[in-house]
Amino acid sequence: MDIDRVERRDQLSVEEFVKEFLEPNLPVILGSHFTSTWAARREWVSDGKPNFPRLLELYAHAQVQVAECDTVYFSDQKRTTMSFGDFISKWHSNSKLYCKDWHFTQNSPFSAYRPLAHLSNDWLNLHCDSEAAGDDFRFCYLGGDATWTPFHEDVFRSYSWSANICGHKKWILVLPGQNHLFTDGLGNWVYNLMDYDKQKYPRLSELKTLEIMQSPGETVFVPAGWWHQVINIGDTISINHNWTNEHNLHRMYARLRADLDAVKYALRDVVDMDGFDEHVQVVLRADSGTDYWLFAGFLESMARIYLAQLQAVRDGGCDGGGRLAAFDRAYRSPDALRLALGHIANVLGMLEDDPDACRIKDLAVKISRLNEQIRQALM
Ligand SMILES: O=C(O)CCC(=O)C(=O)O
Ligand SMILES: [Fe+2]
């Protein structure tokens, strides 16, 4: 593999992050001082090791998902659910158990961290917070040496960020546009870049990758659509988010469109049945966790928040940020508000031109109305 290095920045303004990394969709490592004030770094770690007594005090009864790193289950590891207390007691007897995707902020009053200003423009979690369902994309990962996450692309083609609280992580990031090198003839992607069947993936060694060795306190920004694999070195704890924003809507749409094509292909024998288009959406939702309705709903709720904020700015004053208050100021200046609405309008335009969206009448009407409203507001 071609190995190169990802940039490590100790000084980086939000504006520089947007120009140099977010817009061009490139990875970066943010230096450890950016997380130095986090309670998680003070209280979850002692002498460079997990502070188990404190962690148990905070979370013993939480339910967590635990992966058995040596057991393959479809394209992931086998997972079970247990209490955090049980997981900690098994940690040292079975070093290959990995607690992952734990929604640790739910039902916990402990304020462990605050996302970095650069990474605060998080539409996915803002949207989740306003939905009755209540699930979010804020996670904690904990595991011993050599626990790992198989090769994958993040959900909905979102970005992720991951901050190490304790221990080191080795990341292998694959530059976009190389899916043909890691996918077999049946469309299955490789599970482990370190140990794979060369007959099935004869060209894997041609992959262009970037490797990261992440130290305690450092935060990795994982760009959208960059497949990756992660290996823990020593006892490791990290906090991460999946997130997305105006700079990534076109990629989310492209992912959804590709998933829709795959569903239509799988259902090609029943294409003439009544309600085929609605049925495709149901299967899409089951397979991908989202569908055209949910995506349009996400765009609409974000557009409403930005339209309201733009109006508040026009009415004079109110720079509390409204629903965007947790975003850094750079992300909610009047120019930034207009830019975000412009990006939403672009993707709504793509949906207006998408024949599969047009055939769902109510959806098509909703999309056109919203786009018209945004156009008016931006005039
Ligand atoms: O830390 C891990 O094991 C996986 C993290 C990851 O895949 C991500 O943050 O996108
Ligand atoms: Fe990931």
Average pLDDT over residues 358-378: 96
239: Cβ–Cβ under 8 A, 6 or more apart, which residues? 40, 104, 112, 113, 138, 139, 140, 141, 162, 163, 165
Q: Which helix (H) or strand (E) holds 148?
A: strand 148-152
Q: What percentage of residues in the chain have a pLDDT greater than 70?
A: 97
pLDDT of 159 higher than 70: yes
240 shares its domain with 252? no
pLDDT of 202 higher than 50: yes
End-of-domain residue from the set 184, 218, 244 = 244
In sequence order, the β-bridge partners of residue 212 are 171
Q: Name every protein residue with a CB atom under 6 angstroms from any ligand 1 atom.
A: 141, 149, 154, 160, 162, 169, 222, 228, 230, 238, 240
364 shares its domain with 259? yes
End-of-domain residue from the set 174, 209, 244 = 244
284 shares its domain with 227? no
Joined together, the tokens standing for residue 256 give: 């959804």
What is the domain range of residue 372? 247-378
33 shares its domain with 112? yes
End-of-domain residue from the set 228, 244, 260 = 244
Q: Which helix (H) or strand (E) holds 368?
A: helix 361-378
Average pLDDT over residues 13-35: 97
Residue pLDDT, tens place only, 243-277: 999 999 999 999 999 999 999 999 999 999 999 99
Q: Against a cut of 0.95, is the pTM above it?
A: yes
Ligand number nearest CA of 137 is 1
48 shares its domain with 64? yes
Report how far apart, in Å, the C-alpha atoms of 263 and of each of 156, 194, 260, 360 are.
16, 31, 5, 16
CATH for 231? 2.60.120.650
pLDDT of 2 higher than 70: no
DSSP 8-state secondary structure symbol assigned to residue 47: T
4: confidence class by pLDDT, cuts 50, 70, 90? low
- What pLDDT does residue 131 have? 81
239 shares its domain with 351? no
Identify residue 70 by its one-letter amino acid code.
Answer: D
Which residue among 149, 164, 166, 233 is best mutated to probe the pocket of ligand 1, counting the most ligand atoms within 8 A of its Cβ? 149
Instruction: Decide if 103 contacts 135 (C-beta within 8 A).
Output: yes
The atom of ligand 1 lying closest to the CA of 238 is 1
Joined together, the tokens standing for residue 133 give: 């369902």
Instruction: Decide if 156 contacts 244 (C-beta within 8 A).
Output: yes
Instruction: Decide if 278 contacts 362 (C-beta within 8 A).
Output: no
Side-chain-side CA neighbours of residue 109 (13 Å): 1
Report how far apart, in Å, the C-alpha atoms of 283 and of each of 143, 261, 354 are.
34, 12, 18
128 shares its domain with 87? yes
Average pLDDT score over the chain: 95
Instruction: Decide if 67 contacts 90 (C-beta within 8 A).
Output: no
Long-range contacts at 47-51 (CB < 8 A, ≥ 24 apart): 48/166, 48/216, 49/166, 49/235, 50/142, 50/166, 50/235, 50/237
Which residue among 101, 138, 222 is best mutated to probe the pocket of ligand 1, counting the most ligand atoms within 8 A of its Cβ? 222
- What pLDDT does residue 8 have? 96
- What pLDDT does residue 36 have? 98
The atom of ligand 1 lying closest to the CA of 162 is 9
DSSP 8-state secondary structure symbol assigned to residue 21: I
